[in-house]
């Protein structure tokens, strides 16, 4: 023993203590009575849980099809029914502990049984109830080992050892226990932050009376608030002074400030976009650089456009502020398009506008306001008389909409019905000297 490392000596000491404790339990009548109470408490909990489970399931389960908040809360409570058996055993064991301590003055065995039942409850929670992959991983590698150490009575010793080991980084010092506590608390806090952010974003998105830009701004403000509060709580849990962080943060900020200018500019530009609402999700925009598409997502740094051929274009938010942007969808305004065509020189062109305008007005998407269809004479071409019909529609002439194509079909059919010829190029070829003889 004298030549062994310190960690080996500690482990052997715990083994000896455990062996002495086991011998004391095996030879003590009080210990056997506590074993009996543990078995009785477990059997009673088993009987009660089998009786209560069907009743609770029937009472808590909401009717099919209900989606109210109360129904969702009842389904959430129903998930915890697997904990009924170990928690009942824990409660009954606690009653047995009070009896043994009053009769024998000790209750070490039954207290150990209580901790074992609590460990079984934690195991059932991770195995049968938690479905989120991150929380299940956290429970599997942190909660269950911690509860196992608690059941064996080693958790307090380990906590004291980790608390006594201090790490110093400059003017910041913290114990290993604070670091472990921070990792656990940080994981839970930021998971809760992500979950609450998703829930709040879904709730805000349902507020149809708010403008899309206002909804996006509310979502971003909520996200910043949630994760800001989570960060402050984490610093408080770890016991790190925010004054110390201010010094370190100032030094890092000076070093990174020049490299993060563009990111800061894009972030501020994104906030301005959301505040002004000149472009928001669902708008079809075209930038000076030629990029065009529908805004499908506005993020802190950039905006994503989706083209009609399925490509995604990531545009820095700064480009929407510093360059010219054409918004085809702002405020629900209509868009004007034109469809060019030609007729033969043999046509009475005075009849063409009325025929074409009447035909185009029959299209279900062509609007009467701000202006009805308007057929204009554009010029006299090489092969025919050039016209164009202007029309107004709601939407973009691309993707699922084929406004110009539909209008040209209507023009073609209307001209054919009125025996108006659509010309094609004609050329006169003169061969000097005539055709050669055979």
For 304-372, the DSSP string reads EEE-TTS-EEEEEHHHHHHS-EEESSGGG--EEEEEEEEE-TTS-TTSHHHHHHHHHHTSTT--SSS--
pLDDT of residue 8: 55
Strand-strand pairing, 302-306 and 172-175: unpaired
pTM over 0.85: no
8 A C-beta contact, residue 378 and residue 389: no
Nearest to 219 by CA among 239, 200, 238, 240: 200
What does residue 256 show for φ and ψ, rounded to 5 degrees?
A: -95, -10
- Cα–Cα dist 161/176, whole Å: 9
**In this predicted structure, what is the pLDDT of residue 388?**
92
Q: Of 115, 101, 183, 126, which Cα lies nearest the Cα of 148?
A: 115
Contacts of 7 (CB under 8 A, 6+ apart): none
Task: Give domain 263-330's CATH architecture.
Answer: Roll (2.30)
Name the strand (E) or helix (H) holding 298: strand 292-298
Tell me, what's the pLDDT at 332? 55
Q: What is the distance between the alpha carbons of residues 304 and 281, in angstroms, rounded to a whole number?
A: 9
Q: Which two tokens stand for residue 349?
A: 């062109």
Contact 342, 381 (CB under 8 A): yes
Q: Token pair of 211, please?
A: 């403008």
Q: Which of 248, 43, 21, 174 is nearest to 112 (CA)?
A: 21
Q: Please report the beta strands in 165-209, taking only residues with DSSP state E, as ranges in sequence order.
A: 166-169, 172-175
Reduce the secondary structure of 352-364 to three states and give it as a string.
HHHHHHHHHHCCC
Task: Say what the pLDDT of residue 410 is.
Answer: 92
Answer for the pair 184, 143: CB distance below 8 angstroms, yes or no.
no
Name residues whose C-beta falls within 8 Å of residue 106's C-beta, 6 or more positions apart in sequence.
30, 100
Tokens of 141: 């590698």
DSSP states of 78-101:
HTTGGGHHHHHHHHHHHHHHHHHH
CB neighbours of residue 68 within 10 Å:
9
What local confidence, expressed as pLDDT, does residue 3 receive? Answer: 53
Q: Distance (Å, rounded) from C-alpha 134 to C-alpha 300?
A: 25
| The pLDDT of residue 408 | 93
Asked if the 334-417 domain carries CATH number 3.30.70.100, the reply is yes
Rg (CA), the chain: 39
pLDDT beneath 50, residues of the chain: 27, 331
């Amino acid at each position: 023993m004298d030549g062994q490392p310190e960690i080996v000596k500690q482990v052997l000491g715990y083994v000896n203590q455990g062996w002495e404790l086991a011998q004391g339990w095996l030879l003590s009548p009080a210990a056997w009575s506590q074993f009996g109470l543990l078995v009785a408490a477990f059997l009673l909990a088993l009987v009660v849980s089998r009786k209560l489970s069907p009743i609770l399931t029937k009472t808590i389960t909401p009717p099919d099809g209900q989606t109210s908040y109360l129904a969702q809360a009842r389904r959430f409570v129903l998930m915890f029914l697997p904990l009924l058996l170990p928690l009942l055993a824990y409660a009954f064991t606690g009653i047995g502990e009070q009896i043994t301590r009053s009769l024998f003055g000790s209750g070490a065995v039954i207290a150990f049984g209580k901790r074992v039942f609590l460990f079984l409850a934690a195991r059932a929670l991770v195995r049968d109830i938690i479905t989120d992959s991150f929380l299940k991983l956290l429970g599997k590698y942190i909660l269950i080992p911690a509860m196992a150490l608690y059941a064996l009575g080693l958790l307090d010793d380990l906590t004291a050892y980790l608390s006594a080991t201090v790490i110093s980084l400059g003017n910041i010092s913290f114990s290993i226990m604070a670091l472990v506590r921070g990792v656990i608390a940080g994981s839970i806090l930021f998971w809760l932050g992500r979950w609450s952010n998703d829930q709040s974003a879904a709730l805000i998105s349902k507020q149809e009376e708010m403008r899309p830009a206002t909804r996006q701004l509310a979502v971003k403000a909520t996200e910043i608030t949630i994760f800001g509060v989570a960060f402050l709580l984490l610093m408080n849990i770890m016991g790190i002074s925010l004054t110390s962080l201010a010094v370190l943060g100032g030094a890092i900020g000076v070093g990174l400030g020049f490299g993060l200018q563009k990111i800061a500019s894009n972030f501020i530009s994104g906030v301005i976009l959301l505040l002004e609402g000149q472009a928001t999700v669902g708008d079809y925009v075209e930038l000076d650089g030629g990029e065009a598409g529908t805004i499908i997502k506005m993020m802190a740094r950039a905006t994503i456009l989706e083209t009609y051929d399925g490509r995604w274009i990531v545009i820095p938010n700064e480009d929407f502020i510093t360059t010219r942007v054409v918004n085809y969808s702002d405020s629900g305004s209509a868009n004007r398009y034109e469809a060019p065509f030609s007729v033969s020189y043999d046509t009475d062109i005075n009849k063409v506008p009325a025929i074409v305008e009447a035909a185009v007005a029959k299209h279900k998407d062509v609007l009467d306001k701000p202006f009805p269809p308007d057929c204009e004479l554009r010029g006299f071409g090489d092969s025919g008389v050039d016209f164009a019909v202007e029309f107004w529609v709601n939407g973009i002439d691309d993707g699922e909409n084929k406004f110009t194509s539909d209008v040209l079909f209507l023009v073609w059919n209307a001209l054919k019905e009125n025996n108006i010829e659509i010309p094609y190029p004609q050329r006169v070829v003169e061969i000097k000297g005539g055709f050669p003889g055979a």
